[in-house]
Amino acid sequence: MKTNATSASNTKIYIKFALILIASMAGGALAAFLFQTIASNFQFTMDNSVKSFMDYLSAGTIVGFNLIAAVYCFIQISKAKKLVKSWDGQDDDLAMEAENMLEMPLMVSGCSFILTIMLFGICCWLLLVPVLNSEQASLEISSMILFILSMLALLGNMVWTMAVQNMSVNLIKELNPEKQGSIFQTDFQKTWEASCDEMQKQEIYRAGFKAYQNMNKMCLAGWVLSVLTMFFFDTGLLPMILVCLIMLTGNLTYMMNARSKK
C-alpha cells in the first residue's frame, strides 16, 4: 500500500516537473521572440545632450545615494547609542529595541557598498569608455570632475560603511558582552560566529541557506538574461560565464559542506 502511495505521489511530482519544464521552454521561446523584436527595433545610441545628462545623473546618483544612506545610518546609530547608554543592564525590552534599531544601518551599509561599486562601474562606462574607444579625443573637464566625484564617493562609501559597521558591532558588543571580534580583523566573521551560542548560530545558518537559495534563483534568471542579450544585443560570452561561475561556486561550496563528515 505504502509503495503504491509513494509511486502515485512520485508520478504527480514527475508530471508537475514536466509541466514546469514545458512552461519554462514556452516562456524561454516567448522571451527570445520578444528580445528579437526589441533588438531589431532598438539601436543604442546617445546624442551628446543625452550622454551629458546621463553623465551628471550617474555621478549625482552615486554621490546623492551615499550622502542619504550615510546620514540615515548615522542617525539610526546615534538613536541606538542613546538607548544603549541609557540601558542599565536590567531592561530586556530596551536592549531588544536597541538591537532592532541597529539592524537597518547594518543592512543599508552592506547593500550600499554593492550599489556603489555598481554605480561606479556605470560612471566609468559612461565617462571613460568613449575616450578609451577613441570616440572622444580626450576626457572633457566636466567629465573628469564627475569621474573624480564618483571616485571620491566610492572611497567615501568605504570609509562610512566601515565606520557604521564598526559602531554597530561595538554597540552590539556592549549589549552582548560575550560577543567577540572587530570588523578590522581579517577573520572577523569566524571570530564572531565562534562567540555565538546555539540559537544565534542557527539563525546565521538559516539566513545563509536562504541566501544560497535566492542566489541560485537569481543566477538562473541571470543566465537566461545573459544568454538572450548575448544573442540579440551582442554582449558577448563573459556575462553568461560569470553567472555560471558564481552558481558553480555556490553549489560546490554547499555540496562540499553538506557532505556528512565520517
Partner 1 sequence: MPLLNRLKEYRSKLGVNQAQMGLLVGTSRQTISQIERGDYSPSVTLALKIAKVCNASVEDIFQYEEDNKDEN
Return the number of the residue (114 or 199) whose C-beta is nearest partner 1.
199
Smallest separation, CB 78 to partner 1 (Å): 23
In the complex with partner 1, the residue whose CB is nearer, 80 or 240, is 80
The radius of gyration computed from the CA coordinates of the chain, to the nearest angstrom, equals 25
Q: Are 200 and 193 a contacting pair, CB within 8 Å?
A: no
CB 179 to partner 1: min, Å = 8
Q: Assess contact for 169 and 182: CB atoms under 8 A.
A: yes
In the complex, the smallest distance separating the C-beta of residue 261 from partner 1, rounded to whole angstroms, is 19
Shortest Å distance, C-beta 161 to partner 1: 24
Residue with smaller CB distance to partner 1, 207 or 218:
207
Residue 208 C-beta: closest distance to partner 1, Å:
17
Q: Which is nearer to partner 1, 140 or 193 (CB)?
A: 193
The CA-atom distances, in angstroms, between 107 and each of 85, 87, 168 are: 23, 24, 11
CA dist., res. 127 & res. 62, Å (int): 14
Closer by beta carbon to partner 1, 50 or else 91: 91
Contact 113, 157 (CB under 8 A): yes
DSSP designation for 177: T
Interacting residue ranges for partner 1, rule: CB under 8 A: 89-90, 92, 95-96, 99, 175-176, 178, 196-200, 202
